[in-house]
Amino acid sequence: MADTFKDAPFQAVQVDSLVVLKIAKHCSSAFPTTATGSIVGMDQNNLLEVTNTFPFPSVDNTTADSHQNDASAIAAAAPRQKSNLTYQNEMIRHLKEVNVDANNVGWYTSATMGNFVNLSFIENQYHYQKDNNATVALVYDASKSSQGNLTLRAFRLTSTFMTAYKEGKFTTDVLQKSKLSFRDIIAELPVSIHNSHLLTSFLHQIPSHPVDEEVEPPTSLADIERDQVKPPLDPSIDTLDLAIDPFLEKTCDLLLESIESHYTDLNNFQFYQRQLGREQAKISQWQAKRKAENAQRAVSKQAPLPEDEWQRLFKLPQEPSRLEGMLNAKQVEQYSKQVDGFTANISAKMFAVRENLLPQ
């Protein structure tokens, strides 16, 4: 992890609890449509502090298609639109007037089951990071957080990928020379939630709920031995449920879709290789024929014909970009990590009852 963060201006991200609540409310209200917004704060002592946030204006359905995919695509591209950049600068100016941290430190987006590694995410983060290296992208998974498990992650593009994306060449030769793989696209930073001292003091001063009944102190040792000890919590058998987690099934479906997309991209590249091989075979035949003609013309003491004329007669196919395939591979890795996390508890339960599941 240290090698990944050595080029980053900070090593961790600290998010205020109020920012987390604002992001969670915006993403949950827009679910399942993608929600995006801007985050502000400051970078100090190798720590990026996110102290405030505001959402980007939503698109009116009357001016755009009502389909969910179209609305999500428009919302995903919102961080780099000119109108939203103007809105962001205006909001930052207002924050400065009230003496609030007004340094733009990146943006946030919502995700569904960890599905966020796509070209739009890369373009948005590159748009922020090329002008200000101290920026980060916060990803809030609304579907997983709805089950009571807060999922807020921070990502930034690596310097190696930033250089390659600036050149815009993701061919096989360039990737081999730069040794760039799908693991080097984005780097995840640790995220911590921070409460102000005033809020912490307030939480400690909140009175607890009164007990249901008054507890009478025992008068003798016989009272203690006679009365049964009350359990602190009611027993629950939910943890013994052997049903497959529905989130695991959905993640597996998304994993299969990403693998199919990866194979589609691989088939396109193999088609390019076959086309390139056919064209190179034609060029070799033409060059051999031209050399034979020049040899005959040399015997007849005639001027030789140009041998580089094949560049005008033949056109080599252009190699497709490997960026889409790299993003699919990165998304497959994200889904695989989620499946690994889901199956930990299920595998333990199955192992405990395996004797009952085996045929007699």
| Residue-wise DSSP of 300-358 | TT-PPPPS-THHHH--PPPPPPSHHHHHHHHHHHHHHHHHHHHHHHHHHHHHHTHHHHS
> What is the spatial distance between Cα 150 and Cα 140, in angstroms, rounded to a whole number?
8
Can you give the pLDDT at residue 245? 67
**Confidence tier at 356 by pLDDT (50, 70, 90):** low
Q: Is the pLDDT of residue 230 over 70?
A: no
233 is a domain residue: no
SS3 98: coil
- At 33, which CATH number? 3.40.140.10
Amino acid occupying residue 146: S
Q: Is the pLDDT of residue 3 over 50?
A: no
Same-domain status, 277 and 337: yes
Same-domain status, 187 and 319: no
251 is a domain residue: yes
Same-domain status, 184 and 290: no
Where residue 90 falls (left for φ over 0; alpha for ψ -120 to 50; beta otherwise) is alpha
Same-domain status, 168 and 250: no
**Confidence tier at 160 by pLDDT (50, 70, 90):** confident
Same-domain status, 40 and 119: yes
What is the rounded average pLDDT of the residues 184-212? Answer: 79
Same-domain status, 35 and 178: yes
Q: How many domains does the chain have?
A: 2
220 is a domain residue: no
Q: Which residue bears the tokens 């090593």?
A: 11
Same-domain status, 96 and 188: yes
Can you give the pLDDT at residue 206? 78
Specify the range with the lowest mean pLDDT, choosing from 61-75, 108-122, 215-229, 238-252: 61-75
Same-domain status, 161 and 285: no
Locate the DSSP E strands across the chain.
Answer: 12-16, 36-44, 47-55, 103-111, 136-141, 152-157, 186-189, 191-194
Same-domain status, 126 and 260: no
224 is a domain residue: no
What is the rounded average pLDDT of the residues 127-134? Answer: 84
> What is the spatial distance between Cα 271 and Cα 69, in angstroms, rounded to a whole number?
30
**Which range marks the domain in which residue 173 is found?**
2-197
Looking at the chain, the whole-number percentage of residues with pLDDT higher than 90 is 0
Residues 260-291: pLDDT tens digits? 888 888 888 888 888 888 888 888 888 888 88
Most confident of 192-201, 212-221, 305-314: 192-201
Can you give the pLDDT at residue 69? 56
Same-domain status, 254 and 189: no
Q: Which one, of 126, 120, 84, 106, lies nearest residue 19 by Cα? A: 106
Q: Is the pLDDT of residue 63 over 60?
A: no
Q: Is the pLDDT of residue 210 over 70?
A: no
Average pLDDT over the chain reads: 77
Indicate the residue among 197, 213, 238 that finishes a domain: 197
235 is a domain residue: no
Residues 318-344: pLDDT tens digits? 777 787 888 888 888 888 887 777 777
Q: Is the pLDDT of residue 194 over 70?
A: yes
219 is a domain residue: no
> What is the spatial distance between Cα 92 and Cα 111, in angstroms, rounded to a whole number?
26
Can you give the pLDDT at residue 84? 77
Question: Token pair for residue 239?
Answer: 């943890």
Same-domain status, 118 and 191: yes
76 vs 36, higher pLDDT: 36
Q: Which one, of 342, 343, 341, 359, lies nearest residue 351 by Cα? A: 343
Same-domain status, 162 and 292: no
Specify the range with the lowest mean pLDDT, choosing from 72-81, 125-134, 183-192: 72-81
> What is the spatial distance between Cα 247 and Cα 339, in angstroms, rounded to a whole number?
9
Can you give the pLDDT at residue 70? 61
26 is a domain residue: yes
Residues 235-244: pLDDT tens digits? 556 666 666 6
Question: Token pair for residue 4?
Answer: 């990944």
The half-sphere exposure of 216 on its side-chain side, counting CA atoms within 13 A, is 6
Q: Is the pLDDT of residue 101 over 60?
A: yes
**Confidence tier at 177 by pLDDT (50, 70, 90):** confident
Q: Is 81 exposed, middle or buried (0-12, 13-18, 19+ CB in 10 A)?
A: middle
